[in-house]
C-alpha cells in the first residue's frame, strides 16, 4: 500500500506577502499548495505494517510554486520564493463525539453533566 492511499489530496491557493529581491517592492502573491489530509479510516486490505504507517501519518501541505513574477510593472522579473517553507504540517483539531467531550469536561472541572 502506498502513502497516497492514506490521504485525500486537493489543491489550494494561499496568499503570502513576498518582497522582490530586484526592486525591493513588497506584494501579495497567491501560491499553490498541494494539501494532503489524512483519511479518517485506514483503507481496506492493509496489513500490520500499513497500520503502523497509518498511525504515524500526519496531514501536510507541499508548496507547488518555486518562482513568482514581480507585480511591479517596471520590474516584472521572476524570483525564487524564499522564506516560506516548502512542506508544512497541518494541526488537526480533534472533534470527537459529544459524550467524549462531556467526559473530558467533567474530568477537567470535576462537575457532573446537567441533563
In the chain, domain spans: 3-109
More confident site: 96 or 77: 77
Distances (CA, A) of 52 to 6, 24, 39, 72: 12, 48, 14, 50
Structure confidence by residue, pLDDT tens digits, 45-82: 777 887 888 888 888 899 998 999 999 999 999 999 88
Integer Cα distance of 50 and 1 in angstroms: 7
Reduce the DSSP state of residue 98 to 3 states and report it: helix
Amino acid at each position: 500500500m502506498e502513502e497516497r492511499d492514506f490521504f485525500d489530496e486537493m489543491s489550494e491557493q494561499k496568499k503570502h506577502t513576498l518582497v522582490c529581491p530586484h526592486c525591493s517592492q513588497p506584494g501579495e502573491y497567491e501560491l499553490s499548495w498541494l494539501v494532503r489530509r489524512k483519511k479518517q479510516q485506514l483503507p481496506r486490505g492493509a496489513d500490520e505494517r500499513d497500520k503502523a504507517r497509518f498511525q504515524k501519518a500526519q496531514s501536510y501541505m507541499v508548496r507547488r510554486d518555486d518562482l513568482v513574477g514581480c507585480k511591479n510593472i517596471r520590474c516584472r522579473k521572476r524570483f525564487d520564493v524564499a522564506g516560506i517553507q516548502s512542506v508544512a504540517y497541518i494541526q488537526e483539531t480533534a472533534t470527537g463525539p459529544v459524550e467524549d467531550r462531556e467526559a473530558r469536561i467533567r474530568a477537567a472541572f470535576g462537575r457532573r453533566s446537567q441533563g
